[in-house]
Structure 1
Amino acid sequence: MTWIKICGTTSERDADIAIRAGANALGFIMTQSPRQVSDTSAYSIGTVVPKGVETIGVFVNEQPETLAQTARFCRFTGVQLHGEEDSGYVDSLRALLPGIKIIKTLKSVDVLARSRQPVASSLKPDMWLIDSGNGTQRGGTGKTFDWRGAQPQLKKLQQPLVVAGGLNAENVQAALEVLRPWGVDVCSGVESYPGRKHPGAIAQFIDAVRQFDAAAQMRSEERKL
C-alpha cells in the first residue's frame, strides 16, 4: 500500500485525526513556517502517537549536531532534509542518528531542469521526496508541478520516492497514476487554514489513495490469471 504522510502537524487534535483516518506518518515542521512547532510541542504530540505510525521532523539546513539533538529529544523515527544538504551532511547524520530514516527533498524545478543529467546521484538517503515549492516557500504552497515532465528523471532514482506538492483528494490518484511513487505527502491540501487540519479533507485524501491502491491490486491480480 502507498505510504501516506500528513505533514504540518501542530496539535494533538490534528495528530489524532490523521492517525484515526489511517495515516502512516506525521510530519512536524521544525523550521520557520506557519506550521512550525517547538521541540517541546513535537515531543508532547509524539506521546499520543502509537507505535507503527512514524514521526518525521522536517528541517532546513540545520547543523547536524543540533538536528540530531532535536530528533532524539522529540523521538522522531525519521528526519526530512528540506534544504541544500549534501552527501557529507547525510553521512554525518547517519553517524549521529544510526537507524533513523533520512528523507531528502528534491525541488521539482531542479528535476524538471535536468532533462539528461542524473538527479543528485551522490546522495544516498533512505527516501526521496519531491515537492513543488517556489521562490519564497520550500513547501506547503498548495501548487502541483509537471508530473509527466518530471517522471523520466524520477524513475532513475535508486531509493523510494514520495510525492508532495499541491496534493489533495481530487488530484492524488492522477499523481499516483503518473509517478507510481512509494508514498505521498500532503499538507495544505488537508487543511482548513495553515496549521489546522480538516478532518473531512484528511479522510477523503486517505480514502482516495486507498481506492487507488485497491484498484491497482485488482489489476495486478487479474494480470496473473
Structure 2
Amino acid sequence: MNVKICGITTKQAAIQAVEAGADFIGFVFADSKRKLDREQAKEIASVIPASVKKVGVFVNEDAETIKEIADTVGLDYIQLHGDESPAFCQQFAYPVIKAFQIKTAEDLEKVNDYNCAYYLLDSPAGKYRGGNGEAFDWGLVKHLHPLEEKIILAGGLHADNVQQAIAEVKPVGVDVSSGVETDGAKDGNKMVAFIEKAKRER
C-alpha cells in the first residue's frame, strides 16, 4: 500500500515522514494553512531521497506557474485539486494525480473523462480543497473497479480507520494530512502509526 503524507511544511516533518515509510510527500501550493512557496518547498525537498516521490498540490493554477514550480522544486508528480479539465491535465511532462471531491456516485463518473497517473478521491471541499479531515461514503467507490489500481483514497483518514478504508475501497494508495497532525503540526508518532496500519496486511 502506497502512503502519501500531504501538507508537509518543515524539513523535520519531511524526514519523519520518510523514516516512517512514506512513499509520497505532498507540498501544497494552493490556499491552505499548509501552503508553501517554491523556495520553501525546494529547501524541504533537498532532504527527501529520490525513492520517495515529491508531489505538488495545485488548485486552478495556470499551467506555466505549475511548470515553473515543478521544475524549481524537482517535483515527481503534479496533483491538480481544482476544476482542471481533461485537456489541461494532458499538457504536463510530469505525471498527474487528479483529485475529485466525492459527494455522489455521479461525481465518480467524471473520473472516466480523465487519463491520469492516479485519481485521488477526496471528501467534499470545506474552506479549502482537501485537508478538511472528513471522510466521504466509501461505498460509492464500488462503481470504479476497473480503475482501482489507480485510485488514491483521501479524506478523513487516520490510524484508527485506514485499515477499514483500504478494505472497503481497495485503493493503490492512501493520502493523509490532518489525520497525522497534533495542534495543526505533523506528528511523528501519528505518521508512524498511520503508515504501519496502512501497510499492514489484514
Question: Do they superpose with TM above 0.5?
Answer: yes
> Percent identity at matched positions?
35
Q: Does 1:207 align with 2:201?
A: no
Q: Does 1:132 align with 2:126?
A: no
Distance in 1, Cα, partners of 2:128 & 2:43: 27
Question: Paired residue for 2:134?
Answer: 143
Q: Which runs of 5 or more structure 2 residues have no equivalent in the other structure?
A: none
Deviation at 1:87, TM superposition (A): 1.2
Question: Paired residue for 1:180?
Answer: 170
The residue type paired with residue 160 of structure 2 is E
Distance in 2, Cα, partners of 1:75 & 1:138: 23
Asked if structure 2 preserves the Cα contact closer than 8 Å seen for 1:60 and 1:83, the reply is: yes
Question: Paired residue for 1:29?
Answer: 28
Question: Paired residue for 1:12?
Answer: 11
Distance in 2, Cα, partners of 1:67 & 1:27: 14
Comparing 156-165 with 56-65, greater Cα deviation is found at: 156-165
Asked if structure 1 preserves the Cα contact closer than 8 Å seen for 2:118 and 2:150, the reply is: yes
Greater gyration radius: 1
CA RMSD of aligned residues (A): 1.6
TM-score relative to the length of structure 1: 0.85
TM-score relative to the length of structure 2: 0.95
Report the 3-state secondary structure (helix = DSSP H, G, I; strand = E; otherwise coil) of the residue aligned with 2:121. strand
Relative to 1, partners in 2 of residues 1:27 and 1:105: Cα closer, same or farther, differing over 3 Å? same
Deviation at 1:123, TM superposition (A): 1.1
Report the 3-state secondary structure (helix = DSSP H, G, I; strand = E; otherwise coil) of the residue aligned with 2:113. coil
Deviation at 1:192, TM superposition (A): 1.1
Asked if structure 2 preserves the Cα contact closer than 8 Å seen for 1:128 and 1:159, the reply is: no
Q: Which runs of 5 or more structure 1 residues have no equivalent in the other structure?
A: 216-225
